[in-house]
């Protein structure tokens, strides 16, 4: 391994041990550029969700391409990103308990922090903590536009909650946030527009209307009145996004480099990559745990912790013991969380080694 004059790492993929996570830089850069150009044309700010990569250098790259700020799910991720100079962060998770509230106050002292909230228990905690610190925190009311996760259930609930938020010391009602369900653009639009209108009638302007997700990101402008969109997976893409129709296999920047360690029967290969490298998320019956680029008809049918068991019965060719394969994972975000480091590659050349600095920051 050596470095070029500009600091670029120069080594070959052949020199990397396996399992390793590789990011195809050409594909990743294309994914980032394409989405930013789309946001610019649609007049929507991009606020990428960094849970997909958990790497400050990539968050900075997203900002340098035009993103307004970043989105984190966890305070721990936000702290790592703030340490690296990211200064506009939305934490899209209800924060509960003294430990988290103290950390949120500390974070808000050094960056522009905003949070989401969908209930009075969380709002009371935030209000007490920020009022005691003599600060005001921007809070987005999280609304359930059909995703059936967190969120206020009706536009009437939203306006009542927004009113309570704006009357609490230490808080400022900043707008609406939702994680929309795929394929429900019209329903999401109807909910957001009614909730926004009711808020405005009470003099509560939702300055921010924040939607998210990669599966429907190309339709985000159809939600209407959206000021920012939080896409995460789009940077790498994965088989889930291919299944959702948001990307093709050619748009998948992340692969897991694996080695065939055993061929116990003519139709079976065993890889050195199991649930601790590939993650066990399934796409559906018969779809397996990843797409092997060199053997597209192979099925990764079972993952043990360290073994990936592959059914070769539908393949024309057969890999030899020692052969190295590249696998497009089902779900990139969880693969990221399993690895200390990922490698940025162009063709067969390894150019970057990034530590996954926010890995495992689950509080
Ligand atoms: C609140 C929120 N916003 C945005 C995202 C980004 O979604 P995606 O990875 O599909 O782009 C997620 C993903 O889980 C999320 O939970």
- Model confidence over 32-76: pLDDT tens digits? 999 999 999 999 999 999 999 999 999 999 999 999 999 999 999
pLDDT at residue 247, as a whole number? 97
Which pLDDT score is estimated for 153?
98
Kindly report the CA angle at 232 between 43 and 358, in degrees rounded to 5? 130
Residue to mutate (ligand 1; options 179, 220, 234, 330; most atoms within 8 A of CB): 179
**333 CA to middle of ligand 1, Å?**
10
Q: What is the pLDDT of residue 1?
A: 65
Residue nearest to ligand 1 atom 12, measured at CA: 213
User: Does the 27-235 domain belong in CATH 3.20.20.10?
Assistant: yes
Q: Does the Cβ of 231 fall within 6 Å of ligand 1?
A: yes
- The pLDDT of residue 8 is above 90: no
Distance CA 127, CA 133 (A): 10
C-beta of 170 in contact with ligand 1 (< 6 A): no
Tokens of 19: 């399992």
Residue 212 CA, closest ligand 1 atom number:
4
Which mutation among 91, 114, 230, 234 tests ligand 1's pocket best, with the greatest number of atoms within 8 A of CB? 230
Q: What is the DSSP secondary-structure string of 18-51?
A: SSEEEEEHHHHHHHHHHHHHHHHHHT-EE--BTT
| Residue 48, token pair as written in the block | 């990428």
- Pocket flag, ligand 1, residue 145 (CB < 6 Å): no
Q: Are 77 and 362 in contact (CB under 8 A)?
A: no
Give the pLDDT score at 10.
Answer: 80
Q: pLDDT tens for residues 88-142?
A: 999 999 999 999 999 999 999 999 999 999 999 999 999 999 999 999 999 999 9
Would you place residue 151 in the very low, low, confident or very high pLDDT band (cuts 50, 70, 90)? very high
Q: Which residue of 46, 49, 92 sits with most ligand 1 atoms within 8 Å of its CB, as the best mutation to test the pocket?
A: 49
Find out whether the beta carbon of 49 lies less than 6 Å from any atom of ligand 1: yes
User: What stretch(es) of the chain map to CATH 3.20.20.10?
Assistant: 27-235
Residues of each domain in the chain carrying CATH 2.40.37.20: 249-355
Query: Which CATH topology does 249-355 take?
Result: Lyase, Ornithine Decarboxylase; Chain A, domain 1 (2.40.37)
Cβ atoms within 10 Å, residue 340: 10
The whole-chain average pLDDT of the chain stands at 97
CB 227 within 8 A of CB 44: yes
The pLDDT score that the predictor gives to residue 224 is: 93
pLDDT above 90 (res 5): no
Give 25's contacts (C-beta < 8 A, 6+ positions apart).
Answer: 253, 344, 345, 346, 351, 352
Q: What is the pLDDT of residue 282?
A: 86
Alpha carbon distance 351, 25 (integer Å): 9
Query: How confident is the model over 300-349, as pLDDT tens digits?
Result: 999 999 999 999 999 999 999 999 999 999 999 999 999 999 999 999 99
The residue contributing the CA closest to ligand 1 atom 4 is 212
Q: Which two tokens stand for residue 225?
A: 């009145």
Specify the residue for token string 């063709």: 347
Task: Indicate the pLDDT class of residue 3, thresholds 50, 70 and 90.
Answer: confident
pTM strictly above 0.85: yes
Nearest CA to ligand 1 atom 8: 213
Q: What percent of the chain has pLDDT over 70?
A: 99
């Amino acid at each position: 391994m050596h470095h070029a004059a500009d600091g670029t790492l120069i080594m070959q993929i052949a020199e990397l041990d396996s399992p390793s996570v590789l990011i195809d830089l050409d594909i990743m850069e294309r994914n980032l550029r394409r989405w930013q150009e789309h946001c610019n044309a649609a007049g929507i700010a991009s606020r990428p969700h960094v849970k997909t990569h958990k790497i400050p250098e990539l968050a900075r790259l997203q900002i340098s391409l035009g993103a307004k700020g970043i989105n984190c799910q966890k305070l721990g991720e936000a702290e790592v990103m703030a340490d690296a100079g990211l200064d506009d962060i939305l934490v899209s998770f209800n924060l509960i308990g003294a430990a988290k509230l103290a950390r949120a106050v500390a974070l808000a002292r050094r960056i522009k922090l905003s949070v989401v909230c969908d209930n009075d228990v969380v709002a009371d905690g935030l209000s007490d903590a920020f009022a005691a610190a003599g600060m005001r925190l921007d809070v987005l009311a999280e609304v359930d536009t059909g995703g059936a996760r967190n969120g206020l259930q009706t536009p009437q609930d939203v306006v009542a909650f927004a009113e309570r938020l704006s009357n609490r010391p230490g808080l400022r009602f900043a707008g609406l946030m939702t994680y929309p369900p795929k394929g429900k653009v019209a329903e999401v639009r109807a909910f957001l527009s009614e909730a926004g209108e009711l808020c405005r009638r009470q003099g509560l302007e939702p300055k921010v209307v924040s939607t998210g997700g990669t599966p429907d990101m190309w339709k985000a402008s159809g939600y209407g009145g959206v000021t920012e969109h939080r896409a995460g997976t789009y940077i790498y893409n994965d088989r889930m996004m291919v299944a959702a129709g948001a990307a093709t296999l050619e748009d998948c920047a992340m692969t897991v480099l694996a080695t065939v360690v055993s061929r116990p029967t003519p139709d079976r290969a065993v890889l050195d990559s199991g649930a601790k490298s590939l993650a066990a998320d399934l796409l559906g019956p018969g779809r397996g745990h990843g797409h092997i680029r060199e053997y597209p008809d192979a099925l990764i049918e079972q993952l043990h912790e360290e073994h990936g068991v592959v059914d070769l019965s539908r393949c024309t060719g057969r890999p030899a013991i020692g052969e190295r394969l590249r696998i497009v994972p089902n779900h990139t975000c969880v693969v990221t969380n399993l690895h200390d480091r990922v490698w940025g590659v162009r063709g067969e050349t390894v150019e970057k080694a990034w530590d996954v600095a926010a890995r495992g920051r689950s509080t």
